[in-house]
Amino acid sequence: MCYYNSLKIPAKKNIKLKGKEKELPPVDIKVQSGFSYASWPIIIEDNTGEWQPELAHWEFIPWFIQNLGELEESRKKYTTLNATAEKLFESKLYQAAAKSRRCLVLSTGFYEWRHHQGSADKKPVAYPYFIGSANKDEPLFYMAGIWQPWTDKLSGEMIHCFAIVTTQANALMQKIHNTKKRMPTILPTELAEEWISPLKENRIKELANYQIKENALTAHSIAKDFNRGIENPEALVVYDTLPPL
């Protein structure tokens, strides 16, 4: 599942969606765990039909959660960092957002683990990988997401929160995330534009389950402590015991 993400947006970076070009705020997030329950840049369509970048809370908070205390208790039972594409319209939690509150989650790379058996008498070893865009001229890409507003009934604070939509792994990700064989739903620009536009249910399901082509991504193994604050967590590390993809 997609629980570790990275995002590097240089100053004066413009993107164009739905005929509108806008400048994105600069960002340099080497690695962020969804389990830090922090904010992350997303793109939503506002009430006028125009897209807007904003910071939103990475975790889809259910409407029945009344306050932060209840939220912390709910995290002990389940996580809502990701939303399964195949179940978006089966879930009472995600259904309304899937119909009318879809967003784009900005990313320049994510992290996932590959399990390798090695010796038959030992447990599989997990090796982390960094997965990014194969287009070196444009490392930024869009993950499909769903969002909703949530209000803390005790403090009155209102925030926007979101989950990343995940789909079945493509050929490359089947080799990396070789246990659950899932990956974030990554949309090329024309489909990303469609995702944040009004759509019928069948088309939403099609886009949610979209698998980006294998050659659109690149991946390599990285240090096992990549999430421990090291300077370049996405840097290539070669393991002698790990067979190539």
> Does 100 map to a domain?
yes
pLDDT tens-place string over residues 167-183: 999 999 999 999 999 99
Comparing 121 with 244, which gets the higher pLDDT? 244
57 is in which domain, residue-wise? 4-221
> Does 136 map to a domain?
yes
pLDDT score recorded for residue 123: 85
CA distance 25 to 61: 25
> Does 234 map to a domain?
no
SS (HEC) of 60-126: CCCCCCCCHHHHHHHCCCCCCCEEEHHHCCCCCCCHHHHHHCEEEEEECEEEEEEEECCCCCCCCEE
> Does 232 map to a domain?
no
Please determine, for residue 120, whether its predicted confidence score (pLDDT) is greater than 80: no
For the chain, the domain total comes to: 1
| CATH classification of the domain holding 200 | 3.90.1680.10
Q: Could you tell me if 117 and 124 are in contact, meaning their C-beta atoms sit under 8 angstroms apart? A: yes
> Does 165 map to a domain?
yes
Please determine, for residue 245, whether its predicted confidence score (pLDDT) is greater than 80: yes
pLDDT score recorded for residue 48: 86
> Does 39 map to a domain?
yes
Q: Report the predicted TM-score, pTM, of the whole model to 2 decimal places.
A: 0.96
CB atoms within 10 A of CB 45: 21
> Does 44 map to a domain?
yes
> Does 237 map to a domain?
no
